[in-house]
Structure 1
Amino acid sequence: MTIDGISDGWVRNGDHFRIGSVELRVTRPRIPCFKLANKLERPDMMKLFLDSGRSGFYFAVVQEGEIAPGDTLQLVKRAEQSLTIREILALVREPEDVEAMQIAIGLDGIGPHLRTLFERNIAKRQA
């Protein structure tokens, strides 16, 4: 699904939205794997993608339902004690903020790959 009008710098991990009768929860940024760089024959693609600060994000379905053309996305519940998608992406690019990485590790839906990455980066800074 492609949605216009929501910025990675505004939406937070854990925000709940409704569109039609479907309820969605924001989980984590979209981060492509090496396959994108290989397909495009651009070894620098991952860096370019991360540096753009515009990754998009994944939703988890909280409540199934129906979506029809013209339905609008509405914020149902804001995750106040969270990080924006852009803040999480920045931690992938520049893993300097240990406090923010600790917050990210505790976020629901962040995924095992990012959780492990942040745990390793924290351990390096605390060694």
Structure 2
Amino acid sequence: MKAGHIVGLGKPVAGGATRIDSVLLGVVRPFGPKGVPSGIDKQALDTAVRVTMLGLAGDGQGDPKHHGGPEKAIHHYAFDHYPAWRQELSALSAQAAEVLARPGAFGENVSTAGLTEADICIGDRFRLGGALVEVSQARQPCWKLNHRFGHAGMARAVQQSLRTGWYYRVLEEGALMRGDNLVLVARPCPDWSLQRLLHVLYVDRLDVGALAAMAALPALAENWRKLARQRLERREVEDMERRLAGG
């Protein structure tokens, strides 16, 4: 059993440590058939990097309207999901095998083994190396993953699998490098795992009670709380097609 987990639950215990296996940064470059600016192609670092309120120093975002910012400062993706993706995509895309050969396939900044969306709750506070971070939201996959993996349905597959990864806001700046620890220091919302949040968002999408609770969740990023309020007011689910398939 990995240190810091409760048998049968898989939840990190306060003070338990998970090793940071990779820290990754991306430089903004032309991406996809239209050459849109993107920093999704992130590369692993062997040296320390500064964690700032806007993310890792030097990490580029080609579309700051939808990526990056204080509520999406750092993207964490579980390396635990890679074997399933390799198996599921092996017959669909040779390009997928190449990007899945190492951490960074999903544009993540942090890669670990032993923590997934079932183990993380909204509002969880972690000591990340020398920084203090807080889980702010899950990821909403977009069409760039389709080009990244050479599979037109990749963004939709990530959404449907609920293997999305998650974001941190930064509460205290500090240094981070591969081999540092991720240590849980507070869990204010134990009933709101990311798995539950994603189920509300993408599976049982008009559960009125869950949406009302989601809208009132103080640690959740405001744009997600707004989304819950809009579903409650309109009694309908927003159109996701442009995000998943592109323009």
Q: Same fold (TM over 0.5)?
A: yes
Name the stretch that deviates more: 62-71 or 22-31. 62-71
TM-score by length of 1: 0.81
Among the aligned pairs, what percent are the same residue? 27
**Which of 12, 20, 29 is the matching residue for 2:121?**
12
Aligned to 2:181: 72
1:105 aligns with 2:215: yes
1:49 aligns with 2:158: yes
Structure index of larger Rg: 2
SS of equivalent residue, structure 1 residue 13: coil
* RMSD between superposed Cα atoms in Å: 2.3
Tell me how far 1:51 sits from its aligned partner: 1.5
Contact 2:125-2:187 within 8 A present in 1 as well: yes
Structure 2 residue identity aligned to 1:62 = L
Structure 2 residue identity aligned to 1:8 = E
Change in CA separation of 1:16 and 1:38 when aligned onto 2, cut-off 3 Å: same
**Which of 90, 98, 120 is the matching residue for 2:199?**
90
More strand by share: 2
TM-score by length of 2: 0.45
Gaps of 5+ in 1: none
More helix by share: 1
Aligned to 2:228: 118
Deviation string 1:9-60 (CA, Å, 9 cap, x unpaired) is 1211100000222111001001122343466451x33331111111110011
The higher-RCO structure (CA 8 Å, 6+ apart) is: 1
1:3 aligns with 2:95: no
Number of corresponding residues: 124
Contact 1:16-1:75 within 8 A present in 2 as well: yes
Contact 1:8-1:86 within 8 A present in 2 as well: yes
In 2: Cα distance, 1:67 partner to 1:46 partner: 29
In 2: Cα distance, 1:53 partner to 1:104 partner: 17
